[in-house]
A and B are shown apart, each in its own frame.
Chain A
């Protein structure tokens, strides 16, 4: 099973709203990722959690706040977003640690529209 699930599939929010994106995997992976993807562009890495600790933050604005409550769940809290933040937000997971293939498996994404 290589399934990563994400909710919601679609989200429309105003610039003053607070919302959260959720991601879940049951593959026993200990690395989880958030990516942002704009139309016709490749995914851009935002955050990486490794063993439930924030490992990489790619200088993402503080209006995006990640959280990893346990080894299966990853959240992305959104607050005071801008219209340019509208994009497809992808979650991925992989095995953790060095030396392995550590293939990243992606969820279906949340399509976010900020009005």
Chain B
């Protein structure tokens, strides 16, 4: 099984940077996903990491260190619309269909 930890809540100011950490323990790692979910809406895919390093997509970047069981999602130039829950999800080797989700980090962006 998986044990995935993320902070519950984070608050930041518009225009600032926020880093959401995710740590995991798995018997066989096979990829980590980040999703954004606005209240009452579906999760939307943000990024995928399977190898160590940084993946950049516009204002969002995601980093992975497999040896440390650690990932982070970096949100730059925060906008009010970035206020949402951010879910870290880990896939285990041996089952490509099963994602284990963290509890999610609620980010609130203040003016």
Give the interface of A toward B (CB within 8 A). Answer: 2, 31, 33, 40-43, 45, 48, 50, 55-56, 88, 90, 94, 97-109, 111
Q: Is B87 part of the contact surface with A, judged by Cβ < 8 Å? A: yes
Interface contact A103-B97, CB-CB below 8 Å: no
Kindly state the interface size class of chain B when it binds its partner. Answer: 20 to 34
Query: What's the minimum C-beta distance from B42 to chain A, rounded to whole angstroms?
Result: 4
Which of B31, B41, B104 is in CB contact (< 8 Å) with A108?
B41
Q: Is B48 part of the contact surface with A, judged by Cβ < 8 Å? A: yes
Query: What's the minimum C-beta distance from B37 to chain A, rounded to whole angstroms?
Result: 9
Q: How far is it, in angstroms, between the C-alpha of A109 and the C-alpha of B99 when the chains are bound?
A: 18
| Secondary structure class of chain B's binding surface, majority of residues | loop
Would you list 12 pairs from A and B whose C-beta atoms are within 8 A, ordered by A residue? A40-B104, A48-B98, A55-B97, A90-B43, A97-B96, A101-B31, A102-B97, A103-B45, A105-B45, A107-B42, A108-B41, A109-B41
17 further interface pairs, Cβ-Cβ under 8 Å (given A108-B42, A109-B42): A2-B45, A31-B97, A33-B97, A42-B103, A45-B98, A45-B99, A97-B96, A100-B96, A101-B31, A101-B48, A104-B33, A104-B99, A106-B42, A106-B44, A108-B41, A109-B41, A111-B40
Query: What's the minimum C-beta distance from B85 to chain A, rounded to whole angstroms?
Result: 8
Q: A94: which B residues are within 8 A, CB to CB?
A: 97
Query: What's the minimum C-beta distance from B81 to chain A, rounded to whole angstroms?
Result: 17
When C-beta atoms are compared, the residue in chain A nearest to B97 turns out to be A48
Q: How far is it, in angstroms, between the C-alpha of A45 and the C-alpha of B90 when the chains are bound?
A: 13
Given known A90-B42, A106-B42, contact A43–B101 (CB-CB < 8 A): yes
Q: B50: which A residues are within 8 A, CB to CB?
A: 101
Q: A105: which B residues are within 8 A, CB to CB?
A: 45
Q: B101: which A residues are within 8 A, CB to CB?
A: 42-43
Q: A106: which B residues are within 8 A, CB to CB?
A: 35, 42-44
Please give me the 4 A-B residue pairs with the lowest Cβ-Cβ distance, nearest first. A42-B101, A106-B42, A48-B97, A108-B42
Which of A42, A97, A111 is in CB contact (< 8 Å) with B87?
A42
